[in-house]
A and B are shown apart, each in its own frame.
Chain A
Amino acid sequence: MTPLLELRGVVRRYQLDRPAVLDALSFVLGAGEYVAIMGESGVGKSTLLNVIAGLDRPDAGSVTLDGRELTALDDDALTLERRRSMGFVFQAFHVLPYLTAARNVGLPLELLGWPATQRAARVTAMLQQVGLEAAAERLPRELSGGELQRIAIARALAHRPRLLLADEPTGNLDPRTAAQVLALLREQVKVHGGAGILITHSRAAAATADRAFEFDGRELKPLPVG
């Protein structure tokens, strides 16, 4: 398996007199893999996501994505890397309330400078994949929670990122809608290639991943899936 994402000895400490949030963490994620990471509240899952995404710098260790060491890049370069290679799905959706569904989906493509016609075609294709082609011109306030999360997933994958990071994507959804969203996430990761990390409290959600881990701050302990 070709490693897509590799963490080596990553340390992140916020206060010298307190234990490190990430304590010499090492982890490898292969291309095409979809993994779930579970853990108690406050254990450092968000910190882990921020370090992987380049939004937080580790105090020690390295993070490598597709052979590029992210920890060696400056803020601008990390931003570009994030723009090109990563997609995010949040618990609170975070679609821009003043943009239509289509424009929300096309936001990463606009930032990457895609020409308008290419952008429109890709947005239409993504909306079709998440079953919301008819909602293209609707504003977020006209959509349900499940529809908003599907918009967010379409946005996260529109630019074909190498890595999808989903942080509690079903936390605000009912069980039926959550199941639909989880299935969509897995499908899209597999269809588009790359890899995906799902942060979740739910065993049922973790079960949709190829592998699952329990994170305690120091290490990721494999969990049985299914």
Chain B
Amino acid sequence: MAGHGRTRVAFAVLTAQLRDRPLRLLVTIGAIALGIALTAGVYLVNASALAEFARATRALTGAADLVIDGGRTGFGDQLYGSLASRPEVAIASPVLEVDVALAAGGTLPVLGVDPLIAGRLQPALYADLVGGFVDLLAPRAIALSAVAARALGVGRGGTLKVRIGTEDVLLDVVAVLPETAYGRRLGVMDIGSAQWTLGRLGRLSRIELRLASGVEAQRFATSLRLPPGVLAATPAVAESRATTLTRAYRVNLNMLALVALLTGAFLVFATQALGTLRRRAQFALLRALGVRRGEIEAAVLLEGALVGAAGGALGTALGWLVAALVLAHFGGDLGAGFFDGAQIAVEAAPSALAAFVCLGVVVAVAGSWLPARRVAAIAPATALKGGDPELGSAARRGGTIGLWLLLAGTVVAFLPPVGGLPVAGYVAVALLLFGAVLLVPAFAAAALAAVPAERGAIARLALARLRGTVVQSAVSLAAIVVSFSLMVAMAIMVHSFRDSFERWLGQVLPADLYLRIAPGSDTTFLGPAETAAVAALPGVARSEFRRLTQLSLAPDRPPVTLIARPLGEAVVAQLPFVARTDRPRAGRPVVYVSEAIGDLYGLAPGSTLALPVGGRIRQVLVGGIWRDYARSTGTILVDRATYQGWTGDATVTEGLVWLAPGSAARDVGAALRERLGMGESLQIVESTALKERSLRAFDRAFAITYALEAIAVGIGLAGVAVAFGSQALARRAEFGMLRHVGCSRQQIRTLLALEGGLLGVLGAAYGLLVGVALSLVLVYVVNRQSFHWSLDFVVPVGQLAIVSAALVLAAATTARIAARAALGEAAVRAVREDW
């Protein structure tokens, strides 16, 4: 018989066993499918959301080669004249972009453009407007995207009430853009009308340039002398700057999904490892019949590949379904609040879907590789004699490699980020996890040897069995360790984050009431008269006001937030600092930057920073670095008086109110709303409500993490169930013998429950150790390098104790249930079978 024929024979012998054990086969396929479904689902959600985001961004930038961007602050429109007249510039399109506060609450991004010029750069967006641009010239005329019109419930001929400064203004909707023009909420006005109506006379946000033929964009950008705070960037850079905002979040989600996939892969490994151990005699028989080692190995790998293909196909289909449901119900950011809720459909190239099916095969084959090698290497004589193979040199080698991997993982964890991503952190987690898994046999042997001999024959028998079958015990234990340790690590990370976030909220929300004027908008604010009125209101003991604006410090990074607020000594003392300096100011104003600014721009206390504010570069001293969980792109605190001196801007966008003794928050809030008369554009929130809302938003953002944790543990327990079930069936003859010598069924169930429970205890203990080690990497490396904020490391002892107990109970129960099938009449008859 030729080699491939022998492999077919070997394969047929193996798969005959699978046909007899369909449940185990289904569980293994299911685990792969679940891992692939989560990975594919997260990938498809991210890819679809980003594709939609990129489409929207490209719709805005169109055929522009270069964008001169002044951010939210903008720049004087005299720059337009100087740029448009340059010979290198073929088309110069002025744009005013403002987030307009809606009187009914919320904001609407509005573009002020010259339709005739803009239509040459972005024909798809403005084609409809070009023909009817005369309508747009009317004062307060606005065109809405189809999505905006639907969301706001207004159509052509209707009116839209917005808040400009302290006044309500009615805009006339003169057109609704076609659905295909733009897929998100947007308003378009004539630029002159926008400048006048929105209070931006003489200001522009950006100028989109189409360069003359032969002019290289980057070289031209370098030749420009732009005002402070104005940057030149190609559309690709601008697009990447926008997607950078969500990159860390998306990468972390992908990593979490890969956790589920890894757990599924380990389930395949555990199933194959135990299955090949159990079928040793059959493999030995095949070897005795002339099947070569390589052919045995190929048969086992082929078995794994088929399981992987089935799991991969099923998982990919499930992943598509999951992505569609998630996008429909939670949006492209899974509730994290990064995207604006635009409707997004699932998009995936056939090649991407095929890749996920192949990933299932790769994962299953990878999980089968080591068991295939090991079983092919077993000496037939030893296998036919039965009994557990000795731990031997292979396990000792594995332990040595495991130690090296632990060391390597520890070293790698200290490496810096790559491209702003914690790649070294992820690699460190993988190295530590694999190292810990390789050390499981050594741990199992040592831990089982240390367990005191119990009273009771059944307990002693359970312990003897685990000690005498360390290889099998180690495989079951490793399955528990992989899933449990990852769950522990994520639980500690999330708990540390939540605990740190909750305490941070207490520090940064000291007032009783918070006023926010149309958050996210550029058009409305409180002026000195309004702030004085608030301060004078009965029931108000003290008030403080802040101005928030945005600055662009680098063309390839998202804008940072500048907060101008009173920074007296008492206020500064209460900031959640992580580092400060007492370095003399040397005449420079002092600012306090968040950890993200420190990480992204390489700043430390005592550094100097150039801030483009008020049309000039201001050299400031970094007085300290503080913890800010509100903005991962970075925040700079500057004294409000200093800001006013730079800009002449006395308006504010946020306020804090401390109540006088005996005053009720609700009453003062109502009085504030009546006094200021700003309708829904003024948000007044009590600090307790704000904290609760913030924590709910936190929990919502981490809901997907909690779900993935639970799934990883579920897959791990499924692996344990499969392992116990497989072993129980293989031990039928042993159970039959025990029944003959006088063990009751109950005693045998107790035996298995004790074995499962003890493995659960060992798995929980080792899993906790490994999980804590992994959590240190997640907290101090992955989280820090992803989001640029530090966490206080807090272990949720109570939660972990409950989960550990649940694991032990689940393992014991699973083992006991798995015995049911093995304790019937077949067990008694099994003593009279040869094998």
Q: Which residues of A contact B (CB under 8 A)?
A: 46, 50, 53, 55-56, 75-76, 79-80, 82-84, 86-88, 90-92, 94, 96-99, 103, 107-108, 110-113, 139-141, 155, 167
Q: Does B699 contact A (CB under 8 A)?
A: no
- Provide the bound-state CA to CA distance between A140 and B737, in Å: 15
Q: Is the CB of B831 within 8 A of A90?
A: yes
* Residue of A whose beta carbon sits closest to that of B741: A108
- Provide the bound-state CA to CA distance between A94 and B740, in Å: 11
Contacts of A56 in B (CB 8 A): 828
Contact digits for B455-484, partner A, Cβ 8 Å, 1 yes 0 no: 001001100110111000000000000000
- Provide the bound-state CA to CA distance between A127 and B146, in Å: 92
* Residue of A whose beta carbon sits closest to that of B453: A116
Q: Does B832 contact A (CB under 8 A)?
A: yes
Q: Is the CB of B743 within 8 A of A79?
A: yes
- Provide the bound-state CA to CA distance between A79 and B746, in Å: 11
Contacts of B388 in A (CB 8 A): 97-98
- Provide the bound-state CA to CA distance between A99 and B468, in Å: 7
Q: Known interface pairs A90-B832, A92-B831, A96-B734. Does A103 touch B464 (Cβ–Cβ under 8 Å)?
A: yes
Q: Known interface pairs A92-B733, A92-B834. Does A111 touch B468 (Cβ–Cβ under 8 Å)?
A: no
Q: Does B387 contact A (CB under 8 A)?
A: yes
Q: Is the CB of B464 within 8 A of A55?
A: no
Interface SS majority for chain B? helix
Contacts of A88 in B (CB 8 A): 737, 740-741
Q: Which of B795-835 contact A (CB under 8 A)?
A: 828-829, 831-834
Q: Which residues of B contact A (CB under 8 A)?
A: 382, 385-388, 457, 460-461, 464-465, 467-469, 733-734, 736-737, 739-745, 828-829, 831-834
Q: Give the residue of B465, B469, B832 whose beta carbon is less than 8 angstroms from that of A167.
A: B832
* Residue of B whose beta carbon sits closest to that of A172: B834
- Provide the bound-state CA to CA distance between A53 and B742, in Å: 10
Contacts of B382 in A (CB 8 A): 141
Contacts of A75 in B (CB 8 A): 744-745
Q: Give the residue of A46, A92, A107 whose beta carbon is less than 8 angstroms from that of B741.
A: A107
For the complex with contacts A83-B743, A98-B468, A107-B457, 17 further pairs of A-B residues with Cβ separation under 8 Å are A46-B832, A55-B740, A55-B828, A56-B828, A79-B744, A82-B742, A83-B742, A87-B741, A90-B832, A91-B832, A96-B734, A96-B737, A98-B388, A110-B457, A141-B382, A141-B385, A155-B741
Q: Give the residue of A50, A82, A110, A141 whose beta carbon is less than 8 angstroms from that of B386.
A: A141
* Residue of B whose beta carbon sits closest to that of A95: B737
The smallest C-beta distance from A47 to any residue of chain B, in angstroms, reads 10
* Residue of B whose beta carbon sits closest to that of A83: B742
| Most chain B CB atoms below 10 A, which of A53, A55, A76, A103 | A55
* Residue of A whose beta carbon sits closest to that of B460: A110
The smallest C-beta distance from B637 to any residue of chain A, in angstroms, reads 67
3 closest A-B pairs by CB: A98-B468, A83-B742, A97-B387
Contacts of B736 in A (CB 8 A): 94
Q: Known interface pairs A76-B744, A82-B742. Does A99 touch B464 (Cβ–Cβ under 8 Å)?
A: yes
Contacts of A84 in B (CB 8 A): 742
Query: What would 18 A/B residue contacts be, using CB atoms closer than 8 Å?
Result: A53-B740, A56-B828, A75-B745, A79-B743, A87-B741, A88-B737, A90-B737, A90-B831, A91-B832, A94-B736, A98-B468, A103-B464, A111-B457, A111-B742, A111-B743, A113-B457, A140-B386, A140-B387
- Provide the bound-state CA to CA distance between A82 and B739, in Å: 9
Q: Known interface pairs A110-B457, A139-B387. Does A94 touch B831 (Cβ–Cβ under 8 Å)?
A: yes
Q: Is the CB of B740 within 8 A of A97?
A: no
Contacts of A46 in B (CB 8 A): 829, 832
The smallest C-beta distance from A218 to any residue of chain B, in angstroms, reads 22
Contacts of B831 in A (CB 8 A): 90, 92, 94
Q: Is the CB of A79 within 8 A of B742?
A: yes
Contacts of A97 in B (CB 8 A): 386-388, 468
Q: Give the residue of A50, A96, A110 whose beta carbon is less than 8 angstroms from that of B828.
A: A50
Q: Is the CB of B742 within 8 A of A94?
A: no
Q: Is the CB of A108 within 8 A of B742?
A: yes
Contacts of A108 in B (CB 8 A): 741-742
* Residue of A whose beta carbon sits closest to that of B835: A92
Contacts of A79 in B (CB 8 A): 739, 742-744
- Provide the bound-state CA to CA distance between A91 and B740, in Å: 14
- Provide the bound-state CA to CA distance between A50 and B832, in Å: 11
The smallest C-beta distance from A132 to any residue of chain B, in angstroms, reads 18
* Residue of B whose beta carbon sits closest to that of A108: B741
Q: Is the CB of A82 within 8 A of B740?
A: yes
| Most chain A CB atoms below 10 A, which of B387, B460, B465, B833 | B387
- Provide the bound-state CA to CA distance between A75 and B745, in Å: 9
- Provide the bound-state CA to CA distance between A75 and B382, in Å: 39
- Provide the bound-state CA to CA distance between A90 and B740, in Å: 10
Q: Known interface pairs A82-B742, A92-B831. Does A98 touch B386 (Cβ–Cβ under 8 Å)?
A: no
Contacts of A86 in B (CB 8 A): 742
Contacts of B469 in A (CB 8 A): 98
The smallest C-beta distance from B87 to any residue of chain A, in angstroms, reads 89
Q: Is the CB of A98 within 8 A of B465?
A: yes
| Most chain A CB atoms below 10 A, which of B464, B734, B831 | B831
Contacts of B744 in A (CB 8 A): 75-76, 79
Q: Is the CB of B742 within 8 A of A98?
A: no
* Residue of A whose beta carbon sits closest to that of B744: A79
Q: Is the CB of B737 within 8 A of A94?
A: yes
- Provide the bound-state CA to CA distance between A108 and B382, in Å: 28
- Provide the bound-state CA to CA distance between A208 and B388, in Å: 36
* Residue of A whose beta carbon sits closest to that of B742: A83
* Residue of B whose beta carbon sits closest to that of A93: B737
Q: Is the CB of A110 within 8 A of B832?
A: no
- Provide the bound-state CA to CA distance between A88 and B741, in Å: 7
Contacts of B828 in A (CB 8 A): 50, 55-56
- Provide the bound-state CA to CA distance between A119 and B509, in Å: 72
| Most chain A CB atoms below 10 A, which of B743, B745, B832 | B832
Contacts of B464 in A (CB 8 A): 98-99, 103
Contacts of A112 in B (CB 8 A): 742
- Provide the bound-state CA to CA distance between A113 and B468, in Å: 22
* Residue of B whose beta carbon sits closest to that of A89: B740
- Provide the bound-state CA to CA distance between A87 and B741, in Å: 7
Q: Is the CB of A94 within 8 A of B733?
A: yes
- Provide the bound-state CA to CA distance between A55 and B742, in Å: 10
| Most chain B CB atoms below 10 A, which of A80, A99, A111, A155 | A111
